[in-house]
Structure 1
Amino acid sequence: MNSTDFSELIAGTSLSAVHLETRDIYFSNPRFEAWRGGARIDWEDRGAWWRPFHQQIADAVARGVVVRRARVVSEPVTEYIRWEHYQTTANALAGEQIRWLPRAQAQGLLLPVNDGWVFDDRLVRVHHFSGDGEWTRSEVLDDQGVATAYADAFEKIWEQATPHDEYRIK
């Protein structure tokens, strides 16, 4: 597949999609800035926070795709990670399973240098960021060796990580 478009990749997934995140800060966005200004989500008003991404995840889960996300974070967490933890409720309501692993507990694990998604253990959508967290590009790798390396790293992180509803921000 040549497309890096997430919606196409998740639509073509039949078994699993896993997402590894290892950065402590990502690019700023209006929702983060609103949260920083004191805005909070009314979880009862789904129309206010539900995005196309959430629908794509929900559709995949309804097809039987297992969608998991693991976040490796430094503690104490950055303000951005604090916001991500808060808004992760949306991901969970869409059907994602999410776990958190403090970086200090990741000793001995070899982590990919770039965040990314692995679709059906065969395609990897690698995310590239600048040093300050700005998104620069993504690329899809159809390389079984890379896919296996990412999937294996994800599984090791997943085994040690704490489920979202049990992870407490420090």
Structure 2
Amino acid sequence: MPSATWSKRVAALSVTVGSAIAVVCATVPSAQAAPSLSDIPAIANGGIALARGATMLHSNDFGEYGCEDFVDAAYGKTTATGIPHDGALAFYRQLEANGQRHTSLPAPPGALVFSQGEDGDHVDISIGNGQYESGGVQGFAPGWGDGTDIQILPAPNLGNWNFVGWAYAPWSAI
């Protein structure tokens, strides 16, 4: 059975999976409200997604416009069960319509962070420290960083891209 302990600065969750216990911790900046108990599945799933995403860093697995595909893979989804290819902002608007959007940073670990620019829409996964795991980097910022499509970004506002908002991934945990 999951148990949660909240404070103004740290949210921790332990989940028993078979014979293993996974502990997911999220730092909650003081400017951001502490997560509620209903956020537990999203926080747990976000930690798993970050770990999966880290295994894909510095690769070109999803091409230069594959941000949704990267996020889907990190969350164990496909474009049919997650965010459709080229559908980042439309997906965010659905979350917004369901009251799940947040418009101020910082975003907590595992949150989906959405931005928009003249070349289209983009989605990243927040690491929680002001950095983001991102796919499709070369599509919106050619030559950025190490030159691969999947890398860590220092902000959701690179080049002509503007932060739109963030939301917990709506998929169930584990």
Relative contact order, higher structure (CA 8 A, sep 6+): 1
Query: TM-score when scaled to structure 2?
Result: 0.27
Query: TM-score when scaled to structure 1?
Result: 0.27
Which is richer in helix?
1
